[in-house]
Amino acid sequence: MRMRRFRQADWDEPLIFELGWEGRAGFSVPAVEPEVRDEVGEVEELIPINILREEPPRLPEVSEVEVLRHYIHLSQMNYGVNSSGIYPLGSCTMKYNPVINEVLASNPALTEIHPDQDEATIQGILELLYRLKIWLQELTGMEDGSLEPAAGAQGEFLGNLIMRAYHADRGELERRREVIIPDSAHGTNPASAAMAGFKVVEVPSGEDGCVDLEALKSVVGEGTAGLMLTNPNTLGIFESRISEIAEIVHRAGGLMYYDGANLNALMGRCRPGDMGFDIVHLNLHKTFSTPHGGGGPGSGPVLVKAFLSDYLPVPVVVYRDGLYRLSYDRPKTVGKVHGYYGNISPILKAYAYILSMGGEGLREASEIAVLNSNYLAQRLKDVRGLSLPYAPGVPRKHEFVLSASKMAEETGVRALHIAKRLLDYGIHAPTIYFPLIVPEALMIEPTETEPLEALDRLVEAFEEISSLAYSKPEEVQSSPRNTTVGRLDDVKASHPRTMCLSYRMLRKTR
């Protein structure tokens, strides 16, 4: 197969501030009706002078067509999973985002609803929230939950607050100050636990890439508030001793928290609730196909076992006397993490996705995600200079982690260089240098929505890169070349003397 050529668009696009002409406008604001003006007079005479803006904000003055072209040009300089191709970022689950879900979410019967509307006027959306929560409980084996968190990390924060409230309620918060987290965990785990006021205790992985049970036993105790774990872990390996782990933590009085970033491996096959987890967060923007939007919005529902229901945030959608209602009657609630009820637009897209797939389709999605991942792992581990560390022979789940340390030693071509070279093929790079326990890590998650042909192209690209690394390493190291820009100066971007975080800062330096 001949590798297809790739060239990303490059418009050399100026900043929006550098476009336009004084007096131009991109939008016509409705005029104040003459009767209204006659009645109220001039605004400038109404407003107290000491709070009136003297200088207008220095916004661009551009016409509609200039704005449209500018942002379309920018879009063309951006790689998307629907528009561009395979996006194998490990732990990010960049699956195809179905177009129908976008169409449904643009219905004014959703977009035009204000969050303070009377419950009687929004029965449709409340019913949708009510039902989705039940489906998510079914999928995870949990018993209650909240759709409020706006992202996975906010779900983790909420989950940790629930742990806090639970221990405080039992009079044990004073001594239960520690949350245990494996060294292979996502960075948000320790950050979320710390944000909730806990001390993070790291537990090392054993030689099999899983939690070292002896090490775990040595840190679990009276001070343990809980354990945060993702299963399969970030190496893509299922923690098969999860029941023992849960028992150790539970016996000590701690709670089990499941980071749902990796749920895409397990739908219909295995449920966190059955593994002994007490709190679960999901990422609707990963497992349930809602788009990442270039960084967000996501949605990070939290699900719990019934004994933690009292601590969930308010309000809760309940069904009573033939009506869906928002109930604030939860005296032990942790409060609220979001101003309203969560990111409803992604929630609707996830609802539509689940309806499309059904229980059976979700199970097949997970199975194919795992099949694709193992297929790639099998083919890539034999590429010269690469290896698949930890647990040889154990099947991976939805993702796997390669190490390029041999290639780095032998040729000087590192994981970073491989990632950049992949971009030149029009293939998005994997997650690199994570998890931290693998040197020169390349973490690959193909998802279930990539055709076999795309997986084979990825393998071929790796093979070509490897052979180039062993013949002309500088060519790999100087990638990318086919992207909008080449390698960028990160040091300059972050150095206090040269950093430029806004056009205002840029103006000051000129």
Partner 1 sequence: MSRANPYLPNSVQEIKERMMERLGIRSIDELYSDIPEELRFKGELRIPGPHSEEEVRRVVTALLERNWRFRCPPFLGGGVYPHYVPAVVDEIVRRAEFLTSYTPYQPEVSQGMLQAIFEYQSLICELVGLDVACASLYDWSSALGEAARMANRLNHRSTILVPHLMSPRRLTVLKTYTEPVGMKVRGVDYDRETGLLDLDDLLVKVDGRVAAVYLENPSYLGFVEEEAEAVGEIAHESGALFIVGVDPISLGLLKAPGDYGADIVIGEGQPLGNHMNYGGPLLGIFACRDDPQMIRQIPGRLIGMTETLDGSRRGYVMALQAREQHIRREKATSNICSNEALCALAGAVYLSLLGPTGLRELCEVLVSRARYAMRRICELPGVRAPIFSSFHFKEFTVSLLDKPVYEVHKRLLERGIHGGKPLVGEFPELGEVALYCVTERHTKEDIDLLVSALGEALEG
> 221 or 451, CB closer to partner 1?
451
Peptide bond preceding 480 in cis form (omega within 30 of 0): yes
> 111 or 471, CB closer to partner 1?
111
Q: Hey, is 490 helix, strand or coil?
A: helix
Q: What is the Cα–Cα distance from 134 to 324, expressed in whole angstroms?
A: 14
> 110 or 468, CB closer to partner 1?
110
Q: What is the Cα–Cα distance from 169 to 332, expressed in whole angstroms?
A: 8
Residue 44 CB partners (closer than 8 Å, separation 6+) = 52
State in angstroms the smallest separation of the CB of 362 from partner 1.
Answer: 7
Q: Which residue matches tokens 């690199």? A: 432
DSSP lists the bridge partners of residue 89 as 444
Q: Which helix (H) or strand (E) segment is 348 a member of?
A: helix 344-380
State in angstroms the smallest separation of the CB of 439 from partner 1.
Answer: 17
Side-chain half-sphere of 15: how many Cα atoms within 13 Å?
Answer: 9
Provide the sign of the torsion angle of the four alpha carbons 110, 112, 117, 120, taken in this order: negative
Smallest CA-to-CA distance from 240 within 248, 249, 231 is with 231
> 132 or 469, CB closer to partner 1?
132
> 267 or 407, CB closer to partner 1?
267
Q: What is the Cα–Cα distance from 449 to 273, expressed in whole angstroms?
A: 27
State in angstroms the smallest separation of the CB of 509 from partner 1.
Answer: 10
Which letter does DSSP use for residue 271 in this model?
A: -
State in angstroms the smallest separation of the CB of 402 from partner 1.
Answer: 17
State in angstroms the smallest separation of the CB of 62 from partner 1.
Answer: 6
> 316 or 362, CB closer to partner 1?
362
Structure tokens at 250: 């539970």
> 124 or 410, CB closer to partner 1?
124
State in angstroms the smallest separation of the CB of 411 from partner 1.
Answer: 20
CB 441 within 8 A of CB 432: yes
> 46 or 306, CB closer to partner 1?
46
Which letter does DSSP use for residue 326 in this model?
A: E
CB 254 within 8 A of CB 285: no
Fill in the amino acid letter for 122.
I
Smallest CA-to-CA distance from 418 within 464, 371, 357 is with 464
State in angstroms the smallest separation of the CB of 82 from partner 1.
Answer: 4
> 56 or 331, CB closer to partner 1?
56
Pairing of strands 279-282, 302-304: antiparallel
Q: What is the Cα–Cα distance from 176 to 412, expressed in whole angstroms?
A: 47
Residue 140 CB partners (closer than 8 Å, separation 6+) = 258, 260, 263, 271, 272, 273, 280, 282, 303
> 25 or 318, CB closer to partner 1?
25
State in angstroms the smallest separation of the CB of 307 from partner 1.
Answer: 21
Which letter does DSSP use for residue 395 in this model?
A: P
State in angstroms the smallest separation of the CB of 495 from partner 1.
Answer: 9
State in angstroms the smallest separation of the CB of 487 from partner 1.
Answer: 5
> 3 or 493, CB closer to partner 1?
493
Pairing of strands 441-444, 400-403: antiparallel
Pairing of strands 302-304, 144-146: antiparallel
State in angstroms the smallest separation of the CB of 78 from partner 1.
Answer: 3
User: Cα angle vertex 296, ends 71, 147, to 5°?
Assistant: 145
Q: What is the Cα–Cα distance from 86 to 78, expressed in whole angstroms?
A: 14
> 222 or 382, CB closer to partner 1?
382
State in angstroms the smallest separation of the CB of 239 from partner 1.
Answer: 10
